[in-house]
Amino acid sequence: METSEIRRRFLQYFEDRGHTVVPSAPLPSPDPNLLFNVAGMAQFVPYFVGQQTPPYSRATSVQKCVRTLDIDEVGKTTRHGTFFQMNGNFSFGDYFKEKAIEYAWDLVTRPQGDGGYGFDESVLYASVYYEDDEAIELWKRVAGLPDDRIVRLGMKDNFWSMGIPGPCGPCSEILIDRGPEFGADRDWEAGDRYLEFWNLVFMQNIRGEGGGKEGYPILGELPKKNIDTGLGLERVAYLLQGVDNMYEIDEIYPVIERASELSGRKYGAELVDDVRFRVVADHVRSALMLIGDGVNPGNEQGGYVLRRLLRRAIRSMRLLGYEDPSLVELLPVSLEQMKKSYPELEPDFGRISQVAYAEEEAFRRTLTAGTSIFDVAVRETKSDGGAQLAGAKAFQLHDTYGFPIDLTVEMAAEQGLQVDTEGFKSLMKEQRERAKADARAKKAGHADTSGYRELREKGVTEFTGYQELASDSQVRGLLREGMVAPSAEQGETVEVVLEKTPFYAESGGQIADEGLIVADGVKLKVLDVQRPVKGLIVHKVEVLEGVLQPGLDVHAEVDHEWRVSACQAHSGTHVVHAALRQVLGPNALQSGSYNKPGYLRLDFAWSSALDQATRSEIEEVANLAVRQDLPVSAQYMTLPEARDWGALALFGETYDEQVRVVEIGGPWSRELCGGTHVKHSSQVGALTVTGESSVGAGVRRLEAFVGLEALRYLGRERALVRLLSENLKTRPEELPAKVADLAERLRAAEKELERMKAGQVLAAAAELAANPKDVFGVQYVGHRAPDGVNGGDLRKLALDVRGRMAADKPAVIAVLSVNDGKPGVVIALNDTAREWRLKAGDLVRVAAEKLGGRGGGKDDVAQGGGTDPAGSDDALAAVEHTIGQLVTG
């Protein structure tokens, strides 16, 4: 049975039994403690913890998940993968244990011809929490399981919680006995014999503080008991498809087959190659799904994980012997399998592949550059007599050049070195902690929202800002540091919730409105507006006058100019997006945006920089749309209707069943959007593109001004052109040629100055060679050249001086200069000096230490530098002193 069919049957079974089919949430998680959704119940957490009221009592879904902790285990075990799918059925205070067990057992054992999975009942077991006698009796009565096929396990294995105080409860798992070849009889802890594939969580208790999976106190029972189940789709697939592991199911194995064809290596022949094949297949599929959900390769958070997955796949193909670009061969194979369950991938594949292929090309360049850095690090380690590459160097290769640590370890082993992996892990941990702290600062997540929920229970905040900029309202409540407060006085900054408001809360890339809230004797300045929980609009205000209290009748008014400019910017973003797609094609899809009054920026999928002609064309298409006075309208419909209508959704966003579609000029621009907009495109005003840049592999950013800000920008540009024209005494249209001519003349003058300076430096060679200092029989030249001499010219001077000195006497030449505030030193030795066992590399490290830096090189010539010019004289003196010590020592 194909994986897509297993998925379809699950959703159909529960839909037929009154469950609402809920689409998978996007892979990126809104939880600040997680990068990606890692469980089927992820999008239902607000219902389970009481933050929101569920719109249905029963639900079913197949949730896309990525677990990053398993990356290093991929390919080594039969069931660890980064991307996986979790089938689930959920009850929010409706049915409980008996129905959950009944549904699960029926679907698992029902014959395939009747829509079930057809598992043999005789090899199925159930595990239960050891104190859950109710579940044991239900498994006996509903499923007919005898006592010897019901296993009691402890809290660690069969009790669920989120890891924090809140809902929890016992679990019950369905296991299958795969036979004695997979492990010992009734060994529940080790091996793969008794494989759990469906977990039923009976969410009935409230837990207290405590770490780990067990030992925390159970405080009582929930007022409403819930069901949360998770069936591992990939596990069921490899059980029903008769293969040994998840890598060999229909959604994954074709990539292994193609990788085998490309590499000429056979899957199943060598364990080390098998691990690499599995890494390739798993990571290619994971990358396909992550990019499909709007994640782009980068150096932070989810983008970093995606980059690591892609680079591990590419590296594994190289280790399998395939040196050419591999994603172009493998990604389409993964698409063919995954589009059966996720048909939206196919029309978006142009963008997805563009991002992936650009990352591979970047990594191929990185391998070249990073290998050079690695080689230098190896030479330095060996010259210092070390046998271990420093953890800091491994981290630099990983963080700056994208080298996976296993790649560094492998390359170091080839050079006879180990790697300080503990030091590397320590630096990685510090980086992760910084990233998590940053994420927590940016997201509200599941922090304490009890104050917001208390006010939310009084009703939904009505947003009137689409129709009006001023509303008469009433203060429903106010909060100080997230907790409900009785009042606030002049000078305080608090949060206010109104019955209704015209103020737009920040979302969809549009920042919040500004304005005032006033009443008799009370004046509030609105600083920010947010939606901390669904249905509640919260205003952050500064009390300018009076005393603020709940129940106060107020007049809330948005700053008119602010809103007009904000509407221009948001509508301008849609116009620019449509213009991009018209000029570049449908693959140039928005991946993020930000707009505020008069300014917009738009990130979009594209692998190369836009030349000036293309930027000008996009700007012209956008301004033509503005000039055509296209109608702008918004209407509500279901999410499937919006997609059928061709409306574009922002990657990574979660939408309600009813969505708002903003249309500009009919099908020319249709996007899901909750923002505020102009009524006609002409109201956007002037639009000028001010910049285009890269924000990651396969992602570009356009920036633009609109309305008055665009005119002001153009005015500044015009004044600048006029000033330059006057100073250079030329007409504006001749300015580019004039500037280019001046730049070329300047470059020529700089080259001539460098030539003259080099000549002056080298002219000193004869005099320096004629006047060496005798240091216990060694001819020593220690010379500080004029400031501004680069390393190349210093090297030429040192070699020239060495060539002029007597070959039968040992000679050491040390020349130093400060260039751009940084000192550099070169040391050269003749053959006789090396026969005296002097080494340039040893001497240059002595000098570089005085300069606050490092150095290295061969025995005859070495070079170094530092950051402290004040140590220049000490550096030359230290070289002389060291020569004396070595010769007399």
Q: Which residues sit in the known binding site for Zn(2+)?
A: 570, 574, 673, 677
Say if strands 166-177 and 388-389 run parallel, antiparallel, or are unpaired.
unpaired
Q: Please enumerate in sequence order all residues whose Cβ is within 8 A of that of 595, keeping only pairs 6 or more positions apart, or say none.
A: 509, 510, 511, 566, 569, 570, 572, 573, 601
For 135, phi and psi rounded to 5 degrees? -65, -40
The CA-atom distances, in angstroms, between 306 and each of 288, 297, 309, 403, 697 are: 10, 6, 5, 14, 11
CA 50 to chain centre: 29
Contact between 586 and 578 (Cβ < 8 Å) = no
Query: Taking phi first (over 0 means left), then psi (-120 to 50 degrees means alpha), and beta for anything else, what does residue 839 get?
Result: beta
Q: Please enumerate in sequence order all residues whose Cβ is within 8 A of that of 200, keeping only pairs 6 or more positions apart, or say none.
A: 97, 100, 101, 104, 171, 172, 173, 174, 227, 229
Q: Using alpha carbons only, give the angle 612, 616, 721 rounded to the nearest 5 degrees.
A: 75
In this structure, the dihedral spanned by the alpha carbons of residues 654, 659, 660 and 663, taken in order and rounded to 10 degrees, is 90
3-state SS track over 129-193: ECCCHHHHHHHHHHHCCCHHHEEEECHHHHEEECCCCEEEEEEEEEEEECCHHHCCCCCCCCCCC
| DSSP SS3 for 377 | helix
Q: Please enumerate in sequence order all residues whose Cβ is within 8 A of that of 96, keeping only pairs 6 or more positions apart, or say none.
A: 202, 204, 225, 227
Say which residue the tokens 């010379």 belong to. 783
Nearest to 812 by CA among 843, 771, 767: 843
Alpha carbon distance 6, 31 (integer Å):
29
Q: Treating both helix axes as pointing N-terminal to C-terminal, what angle do 271-292 and 301-319 enclose, rounded to 10 degrees? A: 140
Binding-site residue set: 570, 574, 673, 677
Alpha carbon distance 74, 72 (integer Å):
6
Strand partners, 819: 822
For 818, phi and psi rounded to 5 degrees? -105, 120
